[in-house]
């Protein structure tokens, strides 16, 4: 069997919509008719492979002295807030294990509309849960620790309405770097 046929079989079997698909029997004289045999399956499968599974959100730091260290991350579109899995990646000048323990205690996450109220009233906000492993959908960066945001929390609806996350970190985490990612789980 030629390499193209093997690749075609793999791509079509990988696509969940074609799971029960069985490869056709091909004779050696059929090398030029692969597109006829596989149809548009190649394009659909390659489209799935090339479609980004995760999107990095821009974290904006407010102007010094204006919002008391609040950072925001706009979400491009309300559907993403409903269907996406949100991952916070953090790195600081400390052991990753220590960061995994300290950051969830020092960070408050909410919508851009309610973050100042969370800080003022000393409410916890949306839980930030340390991830056991690096999420495979996002690029690996050495030294980063990964956290998931709980979409079942009561404040999540406000994030869906405002299409923006907001963060406030109390205390000092030296050399802190943050990245916000959303993994798109929406079906086409």
Indicate whether 90 pLDDT > 50.
yes
Q: What is the pTM of this model?
A: 0.70
| Pair (106, 20) in one structural domain | no
Question: Is residue 58 in a domain?
Answer: yes
Instruction: Give the model's pLDDT for residue 69.
Output: 82
Neighbours of 12 (CB within 10 A): 20
Cα–Cα distance, 112 to 95 (Å, whole number): 30
Instruction: Give the model's pLDDT for residue 188.
Output: 47
| Pair (36, 105) in one structural domain | no
Helices (H), 71-113: 78-83, 96-106
| Pair (150, 175) in one structural domain | yes
Tokens of 161: 């309405």
| Pair (69, 34) in one structural domain | no
| Pair (30, 69) in one structural domain | no
Q: pLDDT per residue over 127-171, tens digit each?
A: 999 999 999 999 999 999 999 999 999 999 999 999 999 999 998
Output the CA angle 168-172-173, nearest 5 degrees: 90
Q: How far is CA 146 from CA 53, 87, 111, 134, in A?
A: 17, 7, 20, 6
Instruction: Give the model's pLDDT for residue 78.
Output: 81
Q: How many domains does the chain have?
A: 2
Q: What is the residue range of 101's domain?
A: 54-183
| Pair (110, 176) in one structural domain | yes
Q: pLDDT per residue over 66-85, tens digit each?
A: 557 899 999 998 888 899 99
| Pair (95, 171) in one structural domain | yes
Output the CA angle 184-161-139, nearest 5 degrees: 25
Question: Is residue 156 in a domain?
Answer: yes
């Amino acid at each position: 069997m030629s390499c193209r046929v093997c690749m075609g079989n793999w791509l079509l079997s990988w696509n969940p919509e074609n799971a029960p698909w069985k490869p056709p029997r091909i004779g050696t004289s059929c090398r030029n008719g692969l597109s006829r045999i596989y149809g548009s399956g190649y394009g659909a499968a390659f489209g799935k492979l090339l479609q980004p599974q995760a999107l990095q959100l821009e974290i904006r730091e407010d102007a010094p002295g204006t919002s008391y260290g609040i950072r925001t991350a706009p979400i491009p579109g309300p559907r993403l807030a409903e269907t996406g899995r949100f991952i916070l990646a953090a790195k600081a000048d400390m052991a990753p294990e220590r960061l995994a323990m300290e950051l969830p205690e020092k960070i408050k996450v909410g919508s851009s509309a309610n973050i100042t109220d969370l800080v003022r009233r000393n409410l916890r906000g949306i839980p930030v849960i340390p991830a056991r492993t690096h999420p495979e959908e996002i690029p690996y960066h050495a030294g980063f620790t990964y956290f998931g945001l709980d979409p079942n929390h009561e404040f999540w609806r406000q994030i869906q309405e405002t299409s923006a996350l907001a963060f406030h970190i109390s205390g000092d985490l030296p050399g802190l770097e943050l990245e916000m990612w959303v993994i798109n789980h929406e079906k086409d």
